[in-house]
Amino acid sequence: MTALQRNNVRILGRGPKAMLLAHGYGCDQNMWRFITPAFQEDYRLVLFDHVGAGQSDLTAYIPSKYSTLKGYADDVLDICRELDLKDAVFVGHSVSAMIGLLAAIAEPERFERMVMVGPSPCYINDGDYTGGFTRQDIEELLESLESNYLGWSSTITPLIMGNPERPELATELNNSFCRTDPLISKCFAKVTFLSDNRADLPKLKARTLILQCTQDVIAPEAVGRYVHKSLAWSELRMMSATGHCPHLSAPEETIEAMRSFLVS
């Protein structure tokens, strides 16, 4: 099985430079559909599903490999090698921002620039660091997920999405959660919410754009500012968009921020 098959890779566009778009937890590559048309003329867009999501090959899931974010980063690098990608742009939403970080540290020649949408290197408060959750919060979240995945997803997706005046967005996200393999999703949640990549941030050399939304309960403003402070070559863009998924809720603002960064 090739990485392109394993991760259901699709390539759009005809530009000279590659742009990889990596979806967040509970999502799949379809979540980028409002963003991709804006970049198809200038980039070769590489869309894929993490193993366990979308149309990825579920038989490729190996618990030991995917027990850390490194396993997912290795998949990204496999895709890059098979497509012979160098100096690409990596766009990662939520946990995929850290997956891209690890991939770019391991093989920096693959990535010229990074776009991190709602990144968080650590979700748990720790001393002076504000991650947005206490350890008890995370433990209760994981216990709820373990006991009733569908009930948990219907409760948490409106909080993740925000924009309560547009309930159709939360419905779409919940439907995406429901399409994800529940056993793999439970494991991925533990890996996501218990990871701590703060020490890895200073190792990144690529220029990076951090897109920070307003009222993001998953990755609050303090987290975005921490990531910006920890990355030597980063720009922090405070968005008017609310919630954790601006590529769905505010695609025009997201596109404008990305374009401004990519031409600078």
Q: Which of 23, 93, 244, 247 is catalytic?
A: 244
Query: What is residue 74's three-state secondary structure?
Result: helix
Q: Which of 28, 49, 74, 216 is catalytic?
A: 216
228 has catalytic annotation: no
Tell me the mean pLDDT in the region 18-32: 95
Start-to-end CA distance of the chain, whole Å, equals 39
CB-count burial class (<10 Å; 0-12, 13-18, 19+) for 91: buried
- pLDDT at residue 169, as a whole number: 82
244 has catalytic annotation: yes
Tell me the mean pLDDT in the region 83-106: 98
pLDDT for 207-230, tens place per residue? 999 999 999 999 999 999 999 999
Q: What pTM does this model have?
A: 0.96
pLDDT for 72-82, tens place per residue? 999 999 999 99
94 has catalytic annotation: yes
Whole-number mean pLDDT of the chain? Answer: 94
- pLDDT at residue 178, as a whole number: 66
Query: Is pLDDT at 11 greater than 90 in this prediction?
Result: yes
Q: What percent of the chain stands above pLDDT 70?
A: 100
Query: Is pLDDT at 175 greater than 90 in this prediction?
Result: no
Give the domain ranges of the chain: 3-262
Q: Which of 56, 94, 96, 249 is catalytic?
A: 94
- pLDDT at residue 181, as a whole number: 82
Assigned CATH class of 3-262: alpha beta
Phi, psi angles (nearest 5°) of residue 4:
-65, -35
